[in-house]
Amino acid sequence: MAQFVLSLHTAPTDHDTTQRLIKFAEACIAGGHTISAIFLYQAGIFHASNHLELASDELPVKQLWQELSAKEIPLLLCVTAAEKRGLDTQDTGVFTVAGLAEFAMLASEADKWVQFK
Amino acid sequence: MKNVLVISQHAPFDDQHIRESLDMALIFAAIDQNISWLLSADAVLALKKNQQPELLGIKNYFKMIKTLELYDVENIYVCEKSLMDFNLTKENLIIDVKVANFEQQRALIAQQHQVVTL
Q: Do B30 and A9 touch (CB under 8 A)?
A: no
The mean pLDDT of chain B is 96
Rounded CA separation B56/B59 (Å) = 9
End-to-end CA distance of chain A, in Å?
25
The residue segments making up the domain with residue B99 are: 3-117
Give the confidence band of B21 by pLDDT, cuts at 50, 70, 90. Answer: very high
CATH number at residue B76: 3.40.1260.10
Mean pLDDT along residues B81-93: 97
Overall number of domains in chain B = 1
Of B16, B27, B114, the CB nearest to A101: B27
Averaged over B73-90, what is the pLDDT?
97
- What is the model's pTM? 0.94
pLDDT at B44 over 90: yes
In angstroms, the CA A64 to CA A66 distance is 5
Which whole number is the average pLDDT over B11-26?
96
- Rounded Cα distance, B11 and A117, in Å: 18
In angstroms, the CA A73 to CA B60 distance is 38
pLDDT at A37 over 90: yes
Q: Is the dihedral of CA A9, A13, A16, A22 positive or negative?
A: positive
Taking alpha carbons only, the member of B93, B106, B102, B115 closest to residue B45 is: B93
Closest Cβ opposite residue A108 in set B2, B23, B24: B2
The pLDDT, as a whole number, for residue A23 is: 96
For residues A6, B28, B4, B97, the Cα torsion angle rounded to the nearest 10 degrees is 140
The predicted pLDDT at position A91 comes to 94
Distance CA(B99)–CA(B40), nearest Å, equals: 10
The whole-number pLDDT of residue A25 equals 97
Task: Mutate one of B16, B35, B64, B73 to test the A interface: name it (highest A CB count within 10 A).
Answer: B16
Residue-level pLDDT at A46: 97
pLDDT bucket at B72, cuts 50 / 70 / 90? confident
Host H or E run for residue A22? helix A15-30
- Taking the CB of residue B50, how many other CB atoms lie within 10 A of it? 7
pLDDT tens digits for range A56-78: 999 999 999 999 999 999 999 99
In terms of CATH architecture, what is A3-47+60-116? 3-Layer(aba) Sandwich (3.40)
pLDDT at residue A47, as a whole number: 97
Starting from the edge strand earliest in sequence, which strands make up the sheet with A112-116, in order?
A96-98, A75-78, A34-40, A3-8, A112-116
Is A110 near chain B, with CB under 8 Å?
A: yes
Amino acid at A10: T
What number of other Cβ atoms are within 10 A of residue B70's Cβ? 8
Indicate if the pLDDT at residue A102 is higher than 90: yes
**A103 falls in which pLDDT band (50, 70, 90)?**
very high
Q: Is B17 helix (H, G, I), strand (E, B) or coil?
A: helix
Active site residues of A: 78
Q: What is the ipTM of this complex?
A: 0.92
Average pLDDT over residues B59-68: 92
| Closest C-alpha to B76, from B20, B36, B19, B114 | B36
| Phi and psi, residue A2, nearest 5° | -105, 155
CB of A70 closer than 8 Å to CB of A76: no
Domain chopping of chain A, boundaries: 3-47+60-116
User: Residue B5: which of A96, A28, A107 has the closest Cα?
Assistant: A107
Which one-letter DSSP state was computed for residue B86? T
